[in-house]
Chain A
Amino acid sequence: MPNSTAEKVRPVQKDRPGSKVNSLQDEIDRLTERFGTERKALIPILQEIKKRHHIISGYAMQCVADRLSISPAEVYGVVSFYSFLHEEYQGRIVIRLCRTISCDMAGKDAIARQIQNDLGIKFGETTPDGKFSLEWANCVGMCDQGPAIIVNEQVFTHVTPEKVQEIITACVKMYERTPDLFKKGNHNEHKK
């Protein structure tokens, strides 16, 4: 839960919602052109925002609510319902370890401990450099090949503790090849 005190920082004038000079607003306008302004467009729009910015900030939620003529609380209700939407910043690389039964029986606990050690973060956290987030997943449909990890949209199966570092290195390499992923979206813009 976010804490319930008011956001203290007053944003600079140009980012005031409602003024047209705001890049996130323009982006959401383009998304509504693509998906429409009906309620059914909500989840696809949120998925796009998440994909590009790795966060669905309160500010973004309000802009979307405004365009779709629903209350911000409704958008928040949706964002908080689904595991893959997130109101807090997540790393460019999201590592999801399956914790459900078959992977559990195949030894997910050891993997969990090793990933935490190698990334230096706990489940539900993001590395300070913003590269990695570590999450639990419920059954990812790889029960015959567990333990399984999903990294963004790639699956790794039959993971063993000694393979963990290998996977992390592979991810970093892959994303260094597509540096765009690290550039797109300036997450500070959303961190007010």
Chain B
Amino acid sequence: MSKEKQKTDAKMVDIVIDDKKISVPFGTMLLDAARQNGFEIPTLCYHEDLSRAGGCRMCIVEIEGQRALTASCAYPITAPINVQTTSRRVREARKTTLELLLSEHCGDCYSCVRNGNCELQTLAKEHGITQLPYGHPTEKSRVTETLSPSIVRDMDKCVDCGRCVRTCKELQGIGVFEAVERGFKKEITTFQDKPMAEVGCINCGQCVNRCPTAALTERDSIEEIWAAINDPNKHVVIQTAPAPRAAIGEEFGLDPGQAMTWQLNTALRKCGFDKVFDTNFTADLTIIEEGTELIQRLYKNLVQKDASAPLPQFTSCCPGWVKFIEHVHPEMLDHLSSAKSPQQMFGAIIKTWYAQLNDIDPENIVSVSLMPCTAKKFECNRPELRDSGLKDVDYVLTTRECAKMIRESGLHLPSLPPSDFDDPFGTATGSGVIFGNTGGVMEAALRSVLEFVTGLKVEDIFANANILPVRGMEGCRFAEIKVPDEVGPVPELIAHLVPNWDWLKGQTVRVGIAHGTKNARKILDDVAAGGFFSTCHFIEVMACPGGCIGGGGQPIPTSPAIRQARTDAIYKEDMAYGAKSVRKSHENPAVARIYKEFLTEGPCSHKSHELLHTSYWPRGKFIGSW
């Protein structure tokens, strides 16, 4: 909004919608004004997170005195108007628009992943479409594109709303999709119509979350998983991440914000998984490894003046973000922490330590993970993530797919009894939980690093150990955390890495946080240019808006309010750990055990590097065969 408009914002304008008088702030969009006042206006290209395109023409209304109908989603109210939302012209035009869309839309509702959650289907029903005067194709005209490990694209179901275009450009700053050609040839596609896997797509799946139909969907792994479950020789384990647990209830009709962690354990066992683990275990492990790496980098840079591992250190647990930096700033890859993501750490440990402990042939283990994320499907296929000698994680299930499996089993998740995670990784901490939203990794890392350094309890520094400065929903955030003048002894776990903490006394730790790769790009460009964020020590980046709770595999729809509700659920779960057990990664007894029994040389040691750390590919931004 321009400055001028903001100034006049306070001004109210009186308008009439369907004979009802209402008063709205100057500049309010007509659609918003109508919806706030209880008028139903259908939309298709509109999405709360995106700019207003005004192209689908579903939201048209009649404004008195105007010859043509107006798209209410993109009409700012600046003068008193009299609006009709249900006139004959409006009704006919909306119906015609739908009939036209259906004349191009090839797909059978009952065999479609989006059956029951498709905006086109809903609109057709609401507008009483019973005849199709312009026909309805029964044969596919385009090959469904399945080359991406994460996303499937079926152009026969595309309604040209352009939401994916705006998502990728406006939220993610990438621009994989664009409208190409014009007139009847116009379509939404990629650069030269190449497969998504070839055009710098980071697989974040945000487009999938905002696609109104099934034109963009996740690559489904359900059949393979059922096959593994049905195979008596296979030991099928699943790890579940916190973000899907906070959101999966939505798939069963619950309001957003109700975590289903414990019910889910029961459901997954009923589906036939042999063991159910909590990804939080390796989230805690990630914190130890990544936090240790940070301490190492700080020591090298600040004390030893060795810039071989530069600051700021970037988090590496988000595979969308990792691929993004590989494409956009490959020269900055050495800023990325070498620690693997929790999913991949778990994968490596299941097929090594867990297999040893339980005397199972790793070949017979099928390791599945429940993630909020389509990029994780890409991640588990990265060739370098096979440190157990096998594919560390075999399949990734998104929240949506998982809900589908549960429904297929005839279960109603919310009414199942709760049950616990399986050992030996059962116990988790609140720090692991908050990995699920933006700022969480940072907060978890700070909780542990601060305790390592000061020897104090974080609770004594931040009330309830809630490090509020790093929380929030702004796209790019910055915080300063002061290390007290008193430091403690170096804990035994990392005693081999630094002699003492004197060099950190009274220092200020500067941290940055970004979510959504559009914001990540801002920070990257800034660091590259030696700007403000280059003075940070540690920067957390999540590719998806809101972090994992807004991931590309989460229930559809998404909106700022839904993401906020999921975030609240996550913080609630974090607090609940305070009552029950622990909220800091290094206090996790299972973590302590693994360093005692398996990774005996400690964090960032040779063995942990072998299993828990990884390397990256400088992909660059050019598309083609290089």
The interface of chain A, by Cβ under 8 A from chain B, is: 1-4, 6-11, 16-18, 58-59, 61-62, 66, 70-74, 76-77, 80-81, 87
Contacts and interface: CB of A to CB of B under 8 A. Distances in A.
Interface string B609-624: 0000000000011111
Contacts of A2: 192-193
Interface stretch (B91-99, B176-184, B410-418): B176-184
Contact of B622 (A4, A10, A18, A74): A18
Contact of A71 (B174, B181, B620, B624): B174
Contacts, number: 77
28 contacts: A4-B193, A4-B194, A6-B195, A6-B625, A7-B624, A9-B625, A10-B625, A11-B624, A16-B622, A61-B191, A62-B191, A62-B622, A62-B624, A66-B621, A66-B622, A71-B169, A71-B174, A71-B175, A71-B191, A72-B199, A72-B623, A73-B178, A73-B199, A74-B169, A76-B178, A76-B180, A77-B179, A80-B182
Q: Which 3 A-B pairs have the closest CB atoms?
A: A71-B175, A77-B178, A73-B178
Given A17-B622, A81-B180, A73 B193 contact: no
B198 interface: yes
Q: Which of A1, A58, A73, A81 has the most CB of B within 10 A?
A: A73
Interface in B583-626: 620-626
B625 A8 contact: yes
B190 interface: yes
B191 to A, nearest CB: 4
B188 to A, nearest CB: 10
Nearest to B525: A69
A1 B193 contact: yes
Nearest to A66: B621
A6 to B, nearest CB: 6
A123 B625 CA distance: 32
Interface of B: 143, 145, 169, 174-182, 190-195, 198-200, 620-626
Majority SS of interface residues in chain A? loop
Contacts of B198: 6
B178 A71 contact: yes
B182 A81 contact: yes
Contacts of B200: 71
B525 to A, nearest CB: 9
A127 B190 CA distance: 29
B626 A72 contact: no
Contacts of B193: 1-4
A190 B145 CA distance: 27
B329 to A, nearest CB: 13
A6 B624 CA distance: 7
B588 to A, nearest CB: 42
Nearest to A83: B182
Contacts of B192: 2, 58, 76, 87
A4 B175 contact: no
Contacts of B177: 73
Contacts of A70: 175
B125 to A, nearest CB: 33
Given A2-B193, A7-B624, A18-B622, A74 B178 contact: yes
A13 to B, nearest CB: 9
Given A4-B145, A8-B625, 18 more contacts: A4-B193, A6-B624, A7-B624, A11-B624, A11-B625, A18-B620, A18-B622, A61-B191, A62-B622, A62-B624, A71-B169, A71-B191, A72-B191, A73-B190, A73-B191, A80-B180, A81-B181, A81-B182
A8 B192 CA distance: 14
A66 to B, nearest CB: 7
B195 to A, nearest CB: 6
A77 B180 contact: yes
Nearest to A58: B192
Contact of B175 (A10, A17, A59, A73): A73
A77 B165 CA distance: 11
Contacts of B182: 80-81
A71 B176 CA distance: 7
Contacts of A4: 143, 145, 193-195
Contacts of B175: 70-74
B539 to A, nearest CB: 22
Contacts of B623: 58, 62, 72
Given A1-B193, A58-B191, A73-B191, A11 B626 contact: yes
B191 A76 contact: yes
Q: Which of B180, B195, B199 has the most CB of A within 10 A?
A: B180
A17 B619 CA distance: 12
B410 to A, nearest CB: 40
B626 A10 contact: yes
A55 B254 CA distance: 55
Contacts of A73: 175-178, 180, 190-191, 199
A72 B193 CA distance: 11
Nearest to A63: B622
Nearest to B173: A71
B626 A16 contact: yes
B174 A6 contact: no
A3 B189 CA distance: 12
A182 B621 CA distance: 33
A85 B177 CA distance: 20
A3 B198 CA distance: 13
Nearest to B180: A80
Nearest to A16: B626
Contact of A80 (B181, B194, B195): B181
Contact of A6 (B169, B180, B181, B194): B194
Contacts of A1: 193
Contacts of B143: 4
B564 to A, nearest CB: 30
A59 B214 CA distance: 32
Contacts of A62: 191, 622-624
B152 to A, nearest CB: 14
A4 B145 CA distance: 9
Contacts of B620: 18
Contacts of B621: 66
